[in-house]
Copies of this chain bind each other. A is one copy, B any other.
């Protein structure tokens, strides 16, 4: 796991280390096989938790069709005190009606009972096939083994991670150690954004760790993206919530594998304060550093998910700079990363800048307006001034080089052979500059290959 250093621009230090959810102090994890997944010997039931009470924050899928575990976890998350998560793979517990909701509540209750904590301090994650009743008897029968399996080592982290994976081909985990600025250092911040209330907050060395699964926004028959983040930092509830939301918006929300959104997606962070730092409050440089470190960790996991996208042969990063705002840049970057025509061009190692321009052009209109939705309009849109194709430049880059193909509205002549050499690498970047403002954002995706069709077209055949 490599944290993208470019996201760190503050005082203090952030170091990537090996590890996952057990890297921070006071957390444990475990995973066993209870038999939900058909055949094989893969684990399918996981438990991740903290030895002490936590402050928590969580985000859930915006899909209106939600799995039962999302309903229960959302309820519990309102406590802001989630300290344990029980998760299964092999069954999404989605579209399973009242019995499914009962099963999700039962999973939470089982975890709470074994850990001796209130049910409202537990979350539940499920991933796998939908519309099939969750075999609660197998989960119940495995609970003793599950609680006996937990520990704080790399093996236990990996066991928990394996138990939430479905068609993932890579294990996705990471951790960072953050040396939060001391009050003395904070005073030397050349551009202090520190409020008097937050002054001095945060000092200390803390660790953030995470495990993550997902190789499509949906997996065959409804999978999910699940990200479980732990930290031993002491963080105030609003500071934690804002840090998670910003990190998710800049990482998982800028990831697109196939444009589909799961019924089961969730990302959760539990902070147990075991590091003994001065609590991080929202608004000061300690928060900025904490939030940046969390964002870097989430971005690295988002990139790993894109690389592991169904059928993917290449990781594609789209960077947009010079937009009016970060959000405008993100909308444009996501539109390019999500375009089937861009994705197939990248699969073919084809520097097809026309498709990039086209996806930029329809980004703002893709949703249509309430008055006149759709592709064709009978009037020139009044917002056209927000986007000037004549200032767009496009380049393709990889470790094999950089080639500019379009500059300020005009195509450049370039060597197709040189472009192909660049695009045949495993990681490629499409760079877009707009020349309008200072807004910048990245989005991540992958190519669209025969493998995607094979995985998703032949899946149940």
Q: Which residues of A contact B (CB under 8 A)?
A: 57-66, 74, 94-95, 97, 129-131, 216-218, 221-222, 241, 244-245, 248-249, 252-254, 258-263, 265-267, 327, 330-331, 338-341, 344-345, 347-350, 352-355, 357-362, 364-368, 370, 372-378, 380-381, 384, 387, 389-390, 406, 409-411, 416, 447-450, 452-453, 456-461
Contact = CB atoms under 8 A, between A and B. Distances in A.
A359 B457 contact: no
Instruction: Give the interface centre of A348, A349, A370 by most chain B CB atoms within 10 Å.
Output: A348
Given A261-B375, A262-B358, A357-B95, A62 B381 contact: yes
B411 A357 contact: no
Contacts of A345: 456-457, 459-460
Instruction: Give the interface centre of A129, A347, A377, A449 by most chain B CB atoms within 10 Å.
Output: A377
Contacts of A375: 61-62, 217, 252-253, 261, 265
30 contacts: A59-B378, A60-B376, A62-B376, A62-B381, A64-B362, A64-B365, A66-B361, A74-B380, A95-B357, A131-B353, A218-B341, A218-B355, A244-B378, A245-B378, A252-B375, A253-B374, A258-B340, A259-B340, A260-B340, A261-B365, A261-B375, A263-B358, A344-B453, A345-B456, A345-B460, A347-B453, A352-B460, A366-B367, A447-B457, A449-B453
B409 A373 contact: no
When all copies of this chain in the complex are counted, the total is: 2
A408 to B, nearest CB: 10
B456 A341 contact: yes
Contacts of A217: 375
A109 to B, nearest CB: 23
Contact of A259 (B64, B65, B339, B416): B339
Contacts of A378: 57-60, 241, 244-245
B358 A63 contact: yes
Contacts of A58: 378
Contacts of A387: 64
B97 A410 contact: yes
Contact of A221 (B95, B354, B380): B354
A428 B327 CA distance: 39
A74 B380 CA distance: 8
Contacts of A66: 361, 389
B374 A344 contact: no
B460 A364 contact: no
A372 B62 CA distance: 10
Contact of A460 (B330, B331, B348): B348
Contact of A260 (B258, B263, B358): B358
A130 B357 CA distance: 11
Contacts of A331: 373
Given A63-B365, A344-B452, 6 more contacts: A60-B376, A65-B361, A66-B361, A95-B389, A221-B352, A352-B460
A460 to B, nearest CB: 4
A349 to B, nearest CB: 7
A345 B260 CA distance: 13
Contact of A358 (B218, B248, B367, B376): B218
Contacts of A373: 249, 253, 327, 330-331
A117 to B, nearest CB: 23
A358 B409 contact: no
A58 B248 CA distance: 43
B261 A364 contact: no
Contact of A355 (B59, B260, B360): B260
Given A63-B365, A354-B131, A358-B260, A376 B252 contact: yes
Contacts of A359: 260
Contacts of A366: 261, 367
